[in-house]
C-alpha cells in the first residue's frame, strides 16, 4: 500500500523565473480585473513553483531543488472549444524524486468551463464552485476522490499571501473506509494554483509540498 500514489499523476498547473518576488506581484488594478478570470488564463502569464520534501530526521520540509516553470504560450481550438496552451519546464530532478515532475518540457491544454478547470481530455483538474464529492479514479484496491472545501482561507507562500479556496483529495477502500493519505490543493482567484501536496495513500503526512515562488499575471 505504501507504493500507491494518492496524487496519481495530476500535475501541478502554472509558472516562470529569474525575477525578484516584488517584480512578480501583480498591481492592484490587475488584481481587480482578474476577478472574472479565476484561473488566470491569459497568454503570457507565468508561474514558478518550488518543491519541498519531508525530512523524517528533522520533521521539516527541505528544498529539493526541483523547479517547475510554467507559462501560457498560446491558445488552440480543440473540437470547437478554445483552450490555453501551458508549457511546463522542469529542472533539478536528476534524481527522479517521487512525486516531483521529471526534468524536461511538457505541454497541456486547459480551459475554464463554468468554474471547472478542464484539460483537453475532459478531465476536471479543479473546481471552484462544486462542493460535491467527485470520483477521480477507480482502482481494484480502492477509489480516489476529491471535494471542494466550503469557504476561503489565507495562505502565505514565498510569492506572497493569497485568499484561497481549497480541495482535499483522498482514497477509500472498496468497503468505503478512507485511507490516511490526504492531499490539498489551494487556488486563488486571478492567480491560479498556489500550493499543493503529494502523498502516499497510507501516509498521513505529505511527502512533497509544492509552493508558488514567483508569478507574473496580466
Q: Contact 196/10 with Cβ under 8 angstroms?
A: no
Quickly state the pLDDT bin for 18 (edges 50, 70, 90). very low
Interval 138-156: pLDDT, tens: 999 999 999 999 999 999 9
d(CA 133, CA 147): 5
From the list 124, 71, 125, 68, the residue with the least C-alpha distance to 100 is 68
pLDDT tops 60 at residue 97: yes
Helix (H) or strand (E) holding 33: helix 28-33
Question: What domains are defined for the chain?
Answer: 21-216 (2.40.360)
Interval 81-93: pLDDT, tens: 999 999 999 999 9
d(CA 205, CA 181): 7
Quickly state the pLDDT bin for 104 (edges 50, 70, 90). very high
For residues 206, 208, 212 and 213, what is the CA-based torsion angle, rounded to 10 degrees?
130
pLDDT at 36: 77
Interval 46-55: pLDDT, tens: 999 999 999 9
pLDDT at 16: 33
Amino acid at each position: 500500500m505504501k507504493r500507491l500514489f494518492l496524487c496519481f499523476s495530476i500535475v501541478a498547473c502554472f509558472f516562470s523565473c529569474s525575477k525578484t518576488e516584488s517584480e512578480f506581484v501583480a498591481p492592484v488594478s490587475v488584481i481587480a480585473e482578474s476577478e472574472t478570470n479565476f484561473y488566470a488564463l491569459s497568454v503570457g502569464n507565468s508561474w514558478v513553483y518550488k518543491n519541498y520534501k519531508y525530512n523524517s530526521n528533522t520533521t521539516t520540509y527541505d528544498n529539493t531543488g526541483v523547479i517547475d516553470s510554467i507559462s501560457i504560450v498560446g491558445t488552440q481550438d480543440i473540437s470547437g472549444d478554445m483552450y490555453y496552451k501551458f508549457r511546463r519546464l522542469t529542472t533539478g530532478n536528476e534524481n527522479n524524486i517521487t512525486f516531483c515532475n521529471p526534468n524536461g518540457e511538457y505541454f497541456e491544454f486547459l480551459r475554464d468551463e463554468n468554474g471547472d478547470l478542464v484539460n483537453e481530455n475532459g478531465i476536471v483538474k479543479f473546481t471552484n464552485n462544486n462542493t460535491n464529492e467527485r470520483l477521480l479514479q477507480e482502482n481494484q484496491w480502492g477509489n480516489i476522490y476529491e471535494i471542494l472545501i466550503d469557504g476561503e482561507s489565507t495562505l502565505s507562500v514565498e510569492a506572497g499571501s493569497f485568499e484561497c479556496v481549497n480541495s482535499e483529495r483522498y482514497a477509500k477502500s472498496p468497503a468505503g473506509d478512507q485511507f490516511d493519505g490526504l492531499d490539498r490543493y489551494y487556488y486563488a482567484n486571478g492567480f491560479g494554483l498556489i500550493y499543493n501536496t503529494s502523498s502516499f495513500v497510507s501516509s498521513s503526512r505529505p511527502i512533497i509540498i509544492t509552493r508558488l515562488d514567483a508569478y507574473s499575471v496580466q
